[in-house]
């Protein structure tokens, strides 16, 4: 892409990243934002079954971390998972079709929003059980170490998930066996409607790392350039064979916990607080920097926004036109051999 008025070396030196890579981070965050808005629209129109949790406000976290890994590394996340799959390379069509429960979705429409999965890009899920994926990610890291590969696993989970027993068991084993995993706490200040202070005795969550023999660090995750830099340091540390690391990424969801958590119902936080965090929205922040540094002008930013909206609406159209899975698929790819009584009716 065209870079105006500023030498590439100056940008690289000042921000530790090339102007082109900065633009890429911006485009990725913007596309995720527009797709998430499309998901909300689809839900409001009754196109999406089950529950859905959006990532609006937290985009810098996924985009910054994934910029720091290799394609053969592994990523696992909780139920707020769309952004990870998209950043890793899943097509918006495949993801949106999954939400719509269509045969063209990444899990043939059987997983839905909370269970996005993409073997091709080493995204091992999308899990609906709070903290349920932390031991799985730890096992994946164990497998890498056992095979003597230098692959790193990124494991993303919420502040609330940190109080589950399996977190402690997993972190202990990872610390003891020096497993190649980066535990990333998405600290968006709330577990559903419960604030970190109300639920956690030591609210500086990164300090728990010490108990499990690994370094811990708190970072600003509303600034994608900062996330990328910190993520690269963490990933390099782990890949070099030093064992695990824990990063507490301070972020904020600008929307409700899930689609049913409407602003009027959010008694756990004030709208003033949300407005204050809106001023730290990572997307306009990077947009402003690109303009201030004469890397892009406002017309170009608008053009990128139009493109992002087109990508989102194409995905929506694709999902909407896709077929539902046939009834003959009802018992395939499910984790049991048992067939419920009367199953013959469906075949």
Ligand X SMILES: Cc1ncc(C[n+]2csc(CCOP(=O)(O)OP(=O)(O)O)c2C)c(N)n1
List interacting residues with ligand X (CB under 6 A). Answer: 80, 128-130, 158-161, 186, 188, 190-192, 257
Tokens describing residue 87: 């950043």
Residue whose structure tokens are 């730890």: 138
Q: How far is the CB of 7 from ligand X (least distance, A)?
A: 41
Tokens describing residue 34: 């527009």
Rounded distance, CA 129 to CA 113, Å?
13
Cβ proximity to ligand X: between 161 and 259 the closer is 161
Cβ proximity to ligand X: between 104 and 251 the closer is 251
Q: Closest residue to ligand X, Cβ-based?
A: 158
Cβ proximity to ligand X: between 97 and 249 the closer is 249
**Number of other CB atoms surrounding residue 114 within 10 Å:** 22
Report CA Rg, the chain.
Answer: 20
Cβ proximity to ligand X: between 102 and 133 the closer is 133
Q: Which burial class, exposed, middle or buried, applies to 222 when counting CB atoms under 10 A from its CB (0-12, 13-18, 19+)? A: buried
Per DSSP, 155 falls in state: E
Q: How far is the CB of 158 from ligand X (least distance, A)?
A: 2
Cβ proximity to ligand X: between 201 and 306 the closer is 201
Q: How far is the CB of 30 from ligand X (least distance, A)?
A: 21
Cβ proximity to ligand X: between 84 and 190 the closer is 190
Question: Strand locations in the chain, DSSP E?
Answer: 74-76, 153-158, 181-187, 190-191, 194-195, 216-220, 245-250
**Number of other CB atoms surrounding residue 304 within 10 Å:** 19
Q: How far is the CB of 282 from ligand X (least distance, A)?
A: 16
Q: Which of 87, 57, 68, 22 is nearest to 287 (CA)?
A: 22
Q: How far is the CB of 17 from ligand X (least distance, A)?
A: 27
CA distances from 297 to 21, 220, 280, 288, 290 (A): 16, 26, 21, 9, 8
Tokens describing residue 85: 């799959």
Q: How far is the CB of 134 from ligand X (least distance, A)?
A: 10
Rounded distance, CA 59 to CA 63, Å?
6
Tokens describing residue 259: 């689609």
Cβ proximity to ligand X: between 195 and 307 the closer is 195
Q: How far is the CB of 162 from ligand X (least distance, A)?
A: 7
């Amino acid at each position: 892409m065209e870079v105006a008025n500023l030498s590439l070396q100056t940008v690289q030196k000042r921000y530790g990243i090339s102007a082109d890579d900065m633009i890429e981070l911006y485009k990725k965050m913007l596309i995720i934002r527009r797709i998430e808005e499309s998901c909300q629209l689809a839900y409001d129109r009754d196109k999406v079954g089950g529950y859905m949790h959006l990532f609006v406000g937290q985009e810098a976290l996924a985009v910054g971390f994934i910029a720091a890994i290799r394609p053969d590394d592994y990523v696992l996340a909780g139920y707020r998972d769309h952004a990870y799959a998209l950043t890793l390379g899943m097509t918006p069509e495949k993801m949106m079709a999954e939400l719509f429960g269509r045969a063209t979705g990444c899990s043939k429409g059987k997983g839905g929003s909370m269970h996005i999965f993409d073997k091709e890009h080493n995204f091992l899920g999308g899990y609906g059980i709070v903290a349920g994926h932390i031991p799985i990610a730890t096992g994946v890291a164990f497998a890498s170490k056992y095979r003597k590969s230098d692959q790193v696993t990124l494991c993303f989970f919420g502040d609330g998930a940190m109080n589950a027993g399996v977190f402690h068991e997993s972190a202990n084993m990872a610390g003891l066996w020096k497993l190649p995993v980066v535990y990333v706490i998405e600290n968006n200040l709330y577990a559903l409607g419960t604030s970190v202070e109300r639920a956690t005795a030591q609210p500086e969550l990164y300090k728990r790392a010490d108990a499990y023999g690994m370094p811990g660090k708190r970072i600003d995750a509303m600034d994608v350039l900062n996330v990328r830099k910190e993520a690269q340091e963490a990933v390099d540390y782990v890949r070099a064979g030093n064992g695990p690391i824990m990063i507490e990424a301070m972020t904020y969801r600008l929307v409700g916990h899930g689609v049913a958590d409407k602003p009027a119902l959010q008694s756990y936080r004030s709208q003033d607080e949300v407005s204050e965090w809106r001023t730290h929205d990572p997307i306009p922040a990077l947009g402003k920097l690109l303009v201030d540094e004469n890397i892009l002008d406002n017309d170009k930013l608008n053009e990128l926004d139009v493109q992002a909206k087109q990508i989102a609406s194409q995905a929506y159209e694709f999902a909407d036109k896709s077929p539902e899975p046939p009834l003959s698929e009802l018992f395939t790819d499910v984790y049991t051999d048992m067939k419920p009584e009367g199953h013959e009716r469906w075949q």
